[in-house]
């Protein structure tokens, strides 16, 4: 009987355990299902966030593309405005150049008394040449000229000479005065020009680039005057300095803008709203060993002072420079020799590369100027031979294929500058002046 009771008790405990196990399993299943549901919810949320992030990224990419297009359009507008600005200035310059050519030509053709005085004819022809050069530079623009010069290493045709600042100021202000028959508009009638009288001031420089610089300064002053105002232009000498001043009573600029205008690197990255031409202004000032000062107060006006070495301080005579001219064409040799001799150079001609090398070995020369295509020894080989013997002597290679060399970036070994044919007196003078300045200092320019 006792055994039977124990068996029944065991069976009951076993059954109880099975029931408890089933209950535990059911609870576990419920917890697993609950956790699974939570994970599925989290996964759904994560998928939604991933989709939203992808959508945001796509929108950012699209916005960035739109921004890139907008920036390109903005740059195109800025370039268009700059081109229009240059075009307007160039048109006035070309009109003025044509007028000067016509005036001087008519004087020579219609005034018999002039013909009997060669010095007067020469003076009129020189003025015509300057007018042609001014018109050509205005037509191609300073940017194009400098780009070509840099690509082929051919300097732009600057002509350094004594420049009277009074005449320079008269010329520029005349460009902005209304002419008879022109309709009244926003351009000039609102501005009165005043000149500060004083003793004549002269500097040593390129009249065309100086005129371009002053034109930008005057135009900026005009643009700063909203209705009516006055632009005062003057020049005076202070010690060894010649000081050119352009003053207006316009809107003025902030101190931050004034500082940026004095920074050549900032001026080169001009944004919309900047005064025009400051990259050119800085370039011309630097080329003439000058410095720029700007004073401005918002609502009061702006005063720009450009300080150059005066002509007297730059008037020390340059030393004689010895040039070896190598060309197999006697007519070209004669032209170059005449050009350089008139400019005070000691010139030794050579009929070909072999003759040039022999004369170079037997003499002392500061510069070698050689044609490229010649019999016996070409200019490329002569340049290498010169550099092997005297590396510091500059070599100028003259060729009719300068534009092709510019396009391909070609510059033969031993050549310092490639100069294109046909060249002008101004181009030749400026090319040599670069080396004379490096060898003999400022007075050689």
Looking at residue 307, what is its pLDDT?
Answer: 93
14 vs 141, higher pLDDT: 14
Looking at residue 390, what is its pLDDT?
Answer: 93
Looking at residue 83, what is its pLDDT?
Answer: 65
Block residue for tokens 């037509």: 139
Question: CB within 8 A of 349, min separation 6: which ones?
Answer: 325, 326, 327, 333, 337
Pairing of strands 301-309, 241-248: antiparallel
pLDDT digits (tens, 9 = 90+) for 76-113: 776 776 666 666 667 777 777 787 787 777 777 766 66
Cα(159)–Cα(129) distance, integer angstroms: 12
Q: Which of 100-104, 332-336, 348-352, 374-378 is the most confident on average?
A: 348-352
Looking at residue 141, what is its pLDDT?
Answer: 58
- Structural domains of the chain in order of their starting residue, each with its CATH number: 158-309 (3.30.565.10), 322-444 (3.40.50.2300)
Block residue for tokens 């500059």: 394
| Residue 129 CB neighbours (<10 A) | 16
pLDDT digits (tens, 9 = 90+) for 388-421: 999 999 999 988 887 777 677 788 898 988 888 7
Q: Is it the case that residue 265 has pLDDT exceeding 70?
A: no
Looking at residue 273, what is its pLDDT?
Answer: 54
Cα(420)–Cα(430) distance, integer angstroms: 13
Q: Which of 124-133, 338-347, 354-363 is the most confident on average?
A: 354-363
Mean pLDDT of 327-344: 84
Mean pLDDT of 294-307: 93
Residue whose C-alpha is closest to residue 429's, from 158, 206, 207: 158
pLDDT digits (tens, 9 = 90+) for 172-211: 887 777 644 444 444 444 788 888 867 888 998 888 889 8
């Amino acid at each position: 009987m006792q055994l039977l009771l124990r068996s029944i008790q065991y069976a009951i405990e076993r059954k109880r355990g099975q029931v408890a196990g089933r209950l535990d399993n059911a609870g576990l299943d419920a917890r697993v299902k609950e956790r699974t549901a939570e994970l599925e919810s989290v996964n759904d949320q994560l998928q939604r966030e991933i989709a939203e992030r992808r959508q945001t990224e796509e929108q950012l990419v699209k916005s960035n593309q739109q921004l890139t297009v907008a920036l390109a359009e903005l740059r195109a507008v800025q370039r268009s405005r700059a081109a229009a600005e240059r075009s307007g200035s160039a048109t006035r310059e070309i009109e003025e150049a044509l007028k000067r050519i016509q005036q001087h030509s008519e004087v020579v053709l219609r005034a018999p008394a002039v013909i009997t005085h060669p010095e007067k004819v020469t003076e009129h022809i020189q003025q015509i040449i300057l007018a042609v050069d001014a018109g050509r530079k205005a037509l191609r623009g300073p940017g194009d000229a400098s780009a070509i010069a840099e690509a082929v290493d051919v300097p732009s045709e600057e002509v350094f000479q004594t420049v009277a600042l009074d005449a320079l100021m008269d010329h520029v202000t005349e460009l902005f005065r209304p002419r008879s028959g022109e309709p009244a508009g926003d351009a000039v009638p609102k501005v009165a020009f005043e000149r500060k009288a004083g003793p004549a001031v002269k500097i040593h420089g390129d009249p065309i680039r100086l005129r371009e610089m002053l034109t930008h300064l005057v135009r900026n002053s005009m643009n700063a005057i909203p209705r009516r105002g006055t632009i005062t232009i003057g020049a005076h000498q202070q010690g060894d300095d010649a000081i050119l001043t352009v003053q207006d009573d316009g809107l003025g600029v902030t101190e931050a803008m004034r500082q940026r205008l004095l920074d050549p690197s900032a001026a080169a990255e001009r944004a919309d709203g900047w005064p025009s031409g400051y990259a050119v202004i800085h370039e011309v000032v630097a080329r003439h060993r000058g410095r720029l000062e700007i004073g401005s107060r918002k609502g009061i006006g702006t005063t720009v002072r450009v300080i150059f070495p005066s002509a007297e301080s730059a008037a020390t005579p340059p030393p004689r420079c010895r040039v070896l001219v190598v060309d197999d064409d006697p007519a070209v040799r004669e032209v170059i020799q005449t050009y350089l001799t008139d400019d005070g150079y000691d010139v030794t001609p050579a009929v070909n590369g072999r003759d040039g090398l022999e004369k170079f070995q037997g003499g002392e020369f500061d510069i070698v100027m050689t044609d490229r295509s010649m019999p016996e020894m070409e200019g490329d080989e002569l340049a290498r031979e010169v550099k092997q013997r005297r590396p510091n002597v500059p070599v100028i290679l003259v060729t009719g294929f300068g534009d092709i060399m510019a396009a391909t970036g070609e510059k033969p070994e031993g050549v310092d500058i490639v100069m294109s044919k046909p060249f002008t007196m101004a181009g030749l003078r400026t090319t040599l002046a670069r080396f004379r300045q490096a060898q003999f200092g400022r007075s050689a320019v």
